[in-house]
Structures are given as C-alpha cells and as structure tokens.
Amino acid sequence: MCGIVGYIGKKEAAPIILDGLARLEYRGYDSAGMAVFDGEKVNITKTVGRLKVLEELTHGGETMPGFSGIGHTRWATHGAPSNSNSHPHFNKDKTIMVVHNGIIENYIPLRNKLIKKGYEFVSETDTEVVAQMLDYYHKGDPLETILKVLNRIEGSYALGIMFTDHPGEIFAARKGSPLIAGQSKDGCFIASDVPAILRYTRTVYFVEEQEIVRLGEDRMRFYTMDEEEVEKEPVTIEWDADAAEKAGYEHFMLKEMYEQPKTIADTIAPRIQKDKIEIEELGLSDEEIRAVRKVHIVACGSAYHAGVTGKYVLEGLARIPVEVDLASEFRYRDPILEEGAMVIAISQSGETADTLAAIRESKRKGFRVLGIVNVVGSSIAREADNVMYTWAGPEIAVATTKAYSAQLVALYLLAVKFASVRKTIDGALYASLLRDLKRLPDQVELLLNNKEKIQHFANRYIGARDVFFIGRGIDYAISLEGSLKLKEISYIHSEAYAAGELKHGTISLIEEGTLVAAVSTQPALYQKIISNMVEVKARGAFLLAVTNEGNREIEKVSDYVIYIPETNPFFANSLAIIPLQLFGYYVAVGKGCDVDKPRNLAKSVTVE
C-alpha cells in the first residue's frame, strides 16, 4: 500500500523523507519518489524498484537540497510500476506537486475534461488528475484550490501537496486513506503511519476524514471542508522507536512471533482484575450483554480466521449464534441484521477498506459496532462505536503473527465474559478458563523455544508443491491460518479443509508424498480426524500431526507429530498456531523468500 512522508522545517528534507519512507517499507511498494523544494526550484526524483535505488540516485538525499518536500512509495493500482507512474505527480510547469494514497474513482471523466481544455497527461495514474486539476483551479490561494479539487474528486485519498508559489508550506488532506501529522521543534511532518516520523517526534495528530492540513515550518493548522479551522489535541506516542526495529532477529516476522507471549499477556492482563474479566471499553451493561441475540463478525484474511475461531468459542461458551463474514462479501450482500444483533469488526491495521465498509454498512443499518483493533487512532478504531484494543504494538512483517494471536485472546475474553454474564458456564469452569488464559503466554513461549523440531521438519518441505491442512471445528480455523501463513510467504500452494470435506472432491489431489498437516486439539473429535488421516494416508499422504500432549494414539497414523501443552480446548488455537507459523516461516527462509515483504502483498490493504 502506498506510503507518504512529507516534511517542512529547519532541516534538509530529503534525508528525513528517505528515512521515513524506509520505515513505511512494510506497507509494500513497487516504486518510490520524492520532490524537494529549495525555495527557487523543485527537484523531483522517482524510480521504479526498491527505495535503495532512490537513495542511490539522490546520494542519500544530498543531490536534493531544500527544507520542504514530499515523498512516496507506490503500490501500483492504476498503471503498472514505472518511473512515469511513480509519485510525485505534477503540473506541466512543475509548480504543483502531489503524492497520493488511495484511488480517485472518477479520474477518467475528470481527465477527459482537462484534456479537452488542453492539458496533457504523462502517466496512466489516477493521481495525475489531482495535480492537473490543482493547476486548473489555482488562482493563488492554495486552500481554496485544494477544496475545489476535493469537492470534485470521488474515491479515497491521503494527499501531500506542495505549491511553489507558497514556499513556506506544504498541504495534506485525507478521506478514506490513513494520514497522520506530527510536530517537532525542527519542523512539521505528514506520514501514512506513525513509525515514519517516530525518530523525530512523538507528538502526533490523527488527521480526520475530510480534513485538510496546512503545515508551516513551526506550526500546523487543520481545516474542515467548509474551510473552518479546527482545534486538535496532539497524541503522545508511547511506544519506543526500537519497537519498530528488528532487535537482532533475522526478520521482523520472527521477532514478532517471539513477541507473542508478551502480546497475549498485554492483551489479557488489563482485562482480568481480581479474578474477574472486566472489559470496560465494551460499553455494554450486563443487561445489554444478555440481550445480544446474534453476533456478526466481519474481517479479512488472518483477522477473518481469528473470527472463525471466535465463532466456535463464542457459540461454545456463551451459546450465542455467530455468523462470520469476509468483510468484502458482507459489504455487498445487504446482510440481514435483526434486533439484538451485535457486530464485531476485527483488524490489525484498522485501515482495511473492506472492513471499514462493513462497519459503515452495519452502522447505516442502525447497529453498533465493536472494533477489535491493534492500531490506536486508526480509521476503524475511530469509526467503531467501541474499541477493544489488542496490545500487540506495531506489526511490521506483512504476514501477521502477533496481532493475530492478540485477536484470538481478545475474542476468548469476550466469550468468557459473555458466558459468565449469560450464566452459560458455572463458577468452576469460569475460574479454570481464567487460569488457562493466564497460562497461555508461558505455554506459547515454551513452543517457541522448541522451534528446532519444526525447523528441521520444515527444511524437508522446501521443495513441496502442494500442502493441505485439515481439521474439524476450531482445528479447521487453525488450519485456515496455518495454510495462509505457509502460502503467503513461501509461495507454496496450500489449502485448508474441514477434514470431513476432503473426500467430497479434494482428496483426488493427494498423491504419493503430498504433505497433509492434520490439526487435532479437540478431544471430542480425535477419532473423527484419525479416520480422515487414514483416508489420506491410504492415498500416499505424508502426515504431520499437531495435537495435544497425551494424544499418543495419533502417532499410529502420523509420520511426524508436534505436541502442544494442555489447555482448555477452546483456547487451543493460540498454541497450535505457533508450530504452524514456524513451519511457514522456516520453509520460506529455506526457499530464500523475502519473508517480511512477500511479493504482491501489502501490510495494510486500504483499497478494495
């Protein structure tokens, strides 16, 4: 997803912009560029490829002197990755420069109108239309010009804009795409995300929907679309800049996997007080919890997989029917939400466009939304009626691990809380569930510390062509995530199946040596999954089993077994996923893949 960084102040802008863009690399990109203004002329450098190329071309920014500038990493949507499609885009005279994240949906009619008026376009992007329109409307007052353009474009945007006739200022605006602003004693910043500017300041402003920012060297002002100035309170970011670095691990993904015990503890601990679950931010009284008739969970990717687990846990413990939807489906299927329905949206980034749209659809229908979100102040956090934060800290690797684990425990907390209020569990079970929740961090740690066994096994599967993950109930939800982890970072085709479903077609793909990972953590279903394992073994499958300590029977049908420590079966996902994450990771490392930045993927998917 595109990344934006802008700076104006007392220091050279180019090195700050390059550094900020480097910290946004996790978002995924295919080209990069920046424009720096030295008060007389604008220098623009843009290139397809990694940020390193831009650094080399500009000698680390030295060839682009100036105290104000805007930079961009592009993730292609309209027009292939190329130098001319890279940002910044500009008008013919190079007096107006624009960087953009999002999609201008009506760019074709707007571009056609401008072409009729004699404008020439040099790129295939939707963004260039913004630069040309700014040129068309600009009569000297930048704010007025920007408003005229914003009122005519449809779609989503975070924009960074420079006018050479206003040398002491840069401008920004957002609608539907993330944007923050920050201020230090040396200048003002804009960026797509906080890590980009953390090295320079902890004083951050979250730019609201349809807000415009005017940045000077030592002050910034915010405006509504009616040109009214708004007072905003800055937020002080507490997390350490080091939290966004690798801390000695080979990859962010490995570091983040190792942070899971802490993440889980941080998400659980503040919500268990005096042996009782208290989730104040839920905003629901006990009476309201009892009145919930149905829960709808909406999310994408791994967050959706956490939601599938949430369904089994909430239904199993609190006896509330739960429907889990991919947000991209929910938003267009005119979902039936009836009285007593509660919507839960799960998202790490808090910026996923489809999840945000699903929230808006639910609110439009008059239903309250609880967000389970990791990024504080993100769009979903702001648009949901209530927010339960997962305290995972910044997640840099594109493939999620620690945020997913935090989402799981947030859902467990909700389920146990609902179950106790609705009296679907007794006091003894409540106490034992709490005890098992508190044990999870140590148990995850134990599994991580025994990584060699899975690492050794993974090395044998570097050349695999297809892998299948099977399980029933919660084990199916675990399989979904295990399969995604493997395929997204190692590029090995893998699929997750509800174990009983395999024989309805997919079993024909099993051949001699095909790896099938069978997840079996639910004692009530041990025998069932063993039957399915026997079925695939008879067709030549090589069987990896992930199961509970003590389930020795599974050894009879398995070729390799990974045991997880004992916990309540409802929480088994948090443990069984660890070896599967490690498996995906070590296969990808073995294959020499770019683990933290898999091809074609972006960390935060802010377009549909």
Q: Which residues are catalytic?
A: 2, 603
In terms of CB distance, is 87 or 603 closer to ligand F6R? 603
For residue 294, the cross-strand partners are: 341
- 605 near ligand F6R, judged by CB under 6 A: yes
- 413 near ligand F6R, judged by CB under 6 A: no
Which of 9, 261, 301, 584 is the binder for ligand F6R (CB under 6 A)?
A: 301
Cβ at position 406, least distance to ligand F6R in Å: 11
Which of 133, 170, 303, 414 is the binder for ligand F6R (CB under 6 A)?
A: 303
Backbone angles phi, psi at 350, to 5 degrees: 75, 10
In terms of CB distance, is 134 or 358 closer to ligand F6R? 358
Task: List the strands of the sheet with 157-163, edge to edge.
Answer: 89-90, 96-101, 157-163, 170-175, 211-215, 220-223, 229-230
- 390 near ligand F6R, judged by CB under 6 A: no
N-terminal to C-terminal alpha carbon distance within the chain: 11
* Closest to 404 measured CA to CA, from 505, 303, 281: 303
In terms of CB distance, is 138 or 305 closer to ligand F6R? 305
- 132 near ligand F6R, judged by CB under 6 A: no
- The CA R_g of the chain, rounded to the nearest whole Å, is 26
Cβ at position 374, least distance to ligand F6R in Å: 7
Residues ≥6 apart with Cβ < 8 Å to 181: 172, 188, 189, 190, 191, 204, 205, 207, 213, 215, 220
- 573 near ligand F6R, judged by CB under 6 A: no
**Element (DSSP H or E) covering residue 438:** helix 427-449
Q: What is the DSSP string of 209-262?
A: TTEEEEE-SS-EEEE-TTS-EE----EE--S-GGGGS-TT-SSHHHHHHHTHHH
Stretch that binds ligand F6R, among 8-16, 180-188, 231-239, 299-307 (CB under 6 A): 299-307
- 399 near ligand F6R, judged by CB under 6 A: yes
Cβ at position 9, least distance to ligand F6R in Å: 31
Cα angle for residues 413, 605, 68 (degrees, 5° grid): 115
Cα angle for residues 366, 369, 374 (degrees, 5° grid): 155
Cβ at position 604, least distance to ligand F6R in Å: 6
Cβ at position 400, least distance to ligand F6R in Å: 4
* Closest to 306 measured CA to CA, from 386, 415, 178: 415
Cα angle for residues 24, 263, 600 (degrees, 5° grid): 35
Contact status, residue 573 vs residue 478, Cβ threshold 8 Å: yes
Number of residues that bind ligand F6R (CB under 6 A): 15
Within residues 456-485, the interface with ligand F6R by CB under 6 A covers 484
Interface mask toward ligand F6R for 351-370; x: CB under 6 A: -x--x---------------
Cβ at position 567, least distance to ligand F6R in Å: 24
Which of 347, 494, 514, 606 is the binder for ligand F6R (CB under 6 A)?
A: 347
- 300 near ligand F6R, judged by CB under 6 A: yes
Instruction: Give the footprint of ligand F6R on this chain (CB under 6 A).
Output: 300-303, 347-349, 352, 355, 399-400, 484, 488, 604-605
